[in-house]
Chain A
Amino acid sequence: MSEPASPGDLGEYRPLSYFQLMEVSLRELLVEKGVLTEAEVNAALEDMRARGPEAGARVVARAWSDAAFKTRLLENGTRACEEFGLDVPALRLVVVENTPAVHNVIVCTLCSCYPRMLLGLPPDWYKSRNYRSRVVREPRAVLAEFGLRIAEDMQLRVHDSTADMRYLVLPVRPAGTEGWSEDRLAAIVTRDCMIGVAVPRVDTAGSGP
């Protein structure tokens, strides 16, 4: 008898789902009609896959280090990112600032709008019905499930990303990071901190310059 394929490796054959079939059909039609080429589709996918939360973390680290940049970032997120030299096509960014009295968290209840240009592809939980439906009506319970407890006397602001803007949370710079370089600061700014389901922790920083 031959070896069975390990689960998740070769996988089982499954027919395409409705939406997969629609995607393949639409893509093939667009190529056939000369609207797009396969190479352009692949280039767009590669561009998306190459993006990760590092760009967002660099923006946060700069805002922590440069008060004038932070002011410009809160006024017009897109312009500040462009000034910072980031390639963020089509991004219209609203940056919301956490303070000792205010915590912000981002969701898109209608689909899964996400600042991909700065954070890369969204995590699966961000797209889940569970997160999308619950974080708007019981945000404190959802954040507690992420291990984040928001003090009773803090204001919690949920941002539902329903239309053309995309959102990034500017976390509070943690104590104990005085004198750190921007690179070292960026290392403690995780994807989840910029969605607002976590806050940066110094003990995760490791050693650095």
Chain B
Amino acid sequence: MPQVAARPQYRTDHPSVPVRFAPGDRVRVRRTFPLGHIRTPYYIRGHAGVVERLCGSFPVPEELAQMRNGLPAQPLYRVRFVQREVWPDYRGGRDDVIEIEIFQHWLEAA
């Protein structure tokens, strides 16, 4: 079986900015629309949710896309949003949720 060499961005011990949020914290996704390669979906910007878990810290994708090293890394969270708050016309249970990975620099305390 041929081996594909591990690439540097697959490391998990990147120097990172300090972690600001913990599971259970209420956070809001910044409502901003910069150009470039962004891993924060449009549909969730401006919405508030709850931190489900911290995934670790990873190089910043906006920077990686510009061929820079993306360091210091940013903490990445899984944030849980209530579907009825995200989509006003949502048809489904009121407990239905959507969970999205969002980097710390896209979040503010809510």
A98 within 8 A of partner (CB): no
Residue total for B at the interface (Cβ-Cβ under 8 A): 33
Cα distance A182–B20 in the bound complex, in angstroms = 43
Q: In angstroms, how far is the closest chain B Cβ from the Cβ of A193?
A: 19
Chain A residues near B92 (CB-CB < 8 A): 138-140, 156
Partner of B99, one of A110, A140, A159: A159
Which of A20-28, A41-49, A54-62, A122-130 forms part of the interface with chain B? Answer: A41-49
Partner of B95, one of A87, A90, A139, A155: A155
Cα distance A161–B98 in the bound complex, in angstroms = 11
Chain A residues near B4 (CB-CB < 8 A): 43-44, 47, 89
Cα distance A43–B93 in the bound complex, in angstroms = 47
Asked if residues A160 and B100 are in contact (CB atoms below 8 Å), the reply is: yes
A157 and B58 contact, Cβ closer than 8 Å, known pairs A89-B4, A90-B10:
no
Asked if residues B40 and A162 are in contact (CB atoms below 8 Å), the reply is: yes
Asked if residues A90 and B39 are in contact (CB atoms below 8 Å), the reply is: no
Residue total for A at the interface (Cβ-Cβ under 8 A): 33
A153 and B93 contact, Cβ closer than 8 Å, known pairs A136-B43, A161-B101:
yes
Please give the residue numbers on chain B whose beta carbons come within 8 Å of chain A beta carbons, in ascending order: 1-4, 6-7, 10, 39-41, 43, 55-56, 58, 61, 76, 78, 83, 86-87, 90-93, 95-103
Please give the residue numbers on chain A whose beta carbons come within 8 Å of chain B beta carbons, in ascending order: 40, 43-44, 46-47, 50, 87, 89-90, 92, 94, 109-110, 136-141, 152-165
What are 16 inter-chain pairs, A to B, with CB distance below 8 A?
Answer: A47-B2, A89-B10, A90-B10, A109-B41, A109-B43, A136-B98, A137-B43, A154-B93, A156-B83, A157-B99, A158-B83, A158-B98, A159-B99, A163-B58, A163-B103, A164-B56
